[in-house]
Amino acid sequence: MWNIDKARALMGEGKPVIFVADKGNQDQILSLMFDYPHVGLITGYGNSSSHEAVLTRLAGIPSLINLGVAQWKLTGENQGIILHNGEALKEGANVVLDGDRNVLFIADIDVLEQNGVVTDASYGINIPDSQKTFVAPFLDVTGNIKPEFTVQVLQALVQAAEVNFQKFQLDNDKKAVFIANLEKHFLHVLLGQVQKEIAQGADPADSAMSGQKGGIDLTPEHMDLQTAGGQGGVKFNVDLAMLKQLQNAPGFVPLIINIQPVTDLPMFLGVPSKDLYQR
């Protein structure tokens, strides 16, 4: 099912549901599927490390991520999925997922049953409520993203969330991994909203979806390819106001990036040596 209302109706009857997600309905589907005991997931995007793949794997939900098909059409007229063998998969069809072998079977009868493995797919987390709580600090009273959360700031937060995610994976804490991946997803949604607003040509001065320009300026006029001793290197101008905003952003985790080689650190940072060491 890819129509949310139809899926809700089946869930209300207690019937098993395999969700079909694309970029248009992925947020709604992710909010629904972890609160229902017998579900599956098919997507037309992503890979083994995408949010959907990680979340379903942790929860024990069968899934086929980025299913290869001849045609994928979930909106408008003649909706459906055309498989490479020419067979059409219409909404409401009975199918079986083999997530281990990444295989889709089309069945003549309803054969999807609760397997008893998934007892609490979301680890007790109410995903819609969790998302509301998580994004609240990013929004103003009208529900728009605050202007200080620019593309650059949100991208940095996504990177910080990825660090947390990797850490919990190493610790083998499945619930923490699940939560960290959810937070990455929530940040991606916020970032996508800001980028969409910019792509639509909104005036940054009038838009709550964007803010002051920040980040590292990589334009040619702000690049210095000459360093002391003729060793070569690149110097970037960094917006200090953006960095201050980032330090106060929810969930910010500083990252230390090891850059090799740096033969003249003060020159690389663009400050006189005496000023650097006095600080």
pLDDT, mean of residues 4-20: 79
Query: How confident is the model at residue 62, as a pLDDT?
Result: 73
pLDDT beyond 50 at 218: no
pLDDT at 267 over 50: no
Residue located via tokens 């663009």: 270
H-only helix segments in the chain: 4-12, 26-33, 51-59, 127-135, 151-171, 174-199, 240-247, 265-269, 273-278
pLDDT for 222 beyond 60: no
For 67, the 3-state DSSP assignment is: coil
pLDDT at residue 239, rounded to an integer: 52
pLDDT of residue 2: 75
pLDDT of residue 177: 78
Q: What is the pLDDT of residue 227?
A: 38
Tell how far CA 155 is from the center of its chain. Answer: 11
Does pLDDT of 144 surpass 80? yes
Instruction: Identify which of 79, 76, 93, 120 has the alpha carbon closest to the alpha carbon of residue 18.
Output: 93
Q: Are 72 and 83 in contact (CB under 8 A)?
A: no
Percent of the chain at pLDDT above 70?
Answer: 48
Full-model pTM: 0.40
pLDDT digits (tens, 9 = 90+) for 109-132: 443 333 333 334 456 566 667 778
Structure tokens at 131: 């998302």
Q: What is the pLDDT of residues 190-205, one digit of tens each?
A: 888 888 888 877 544 3
Helix axes 26-33, 51-59, angle to 10 degrees: 10
pLDDT at 251: 55
How confident is the model at residue 58, as a pLDDT?
65
Closest to 73 (Cα-Cα) out of 85, 92, 88: 88
How does pLDDT run across 79-114, given as a tens digit for each residue?
Answer: 777 776 676 777 776 666 655 555 555 554 443 333
Residue 231: strand, helix, or coil: coil
pLDDT in tens, 58-77: 666 777 777 767 777 777 77
**pLDDT tops 60 at residue 226:** no
32 pLDDT higher than 50: yes
Take residue 92 and report the two structure tokens written for it: 């409401």
- pLDDT band of residue 229 (cuts 50, 70, 90) is very low
Q: Which domains does the chain have, with CATH numbers?
A: 4-107 (3.50.30), 123-279 (no CATH)
When pLDDT is cut at 50, 70 and 90, the band that residue 160 belongs to is: confident
pLDDT of 231 > 70? The answer is no
Mean pLDDT for the stretch of residues 10-29: 76
- Starting at the edge strand found earlier in the chain, the sheet holding 71-73 runs 71-73, 80-82, 88-89
| Total number of residues shown for the chain | 279
Answer whether residue 257 shows pLDDT above 50.
no
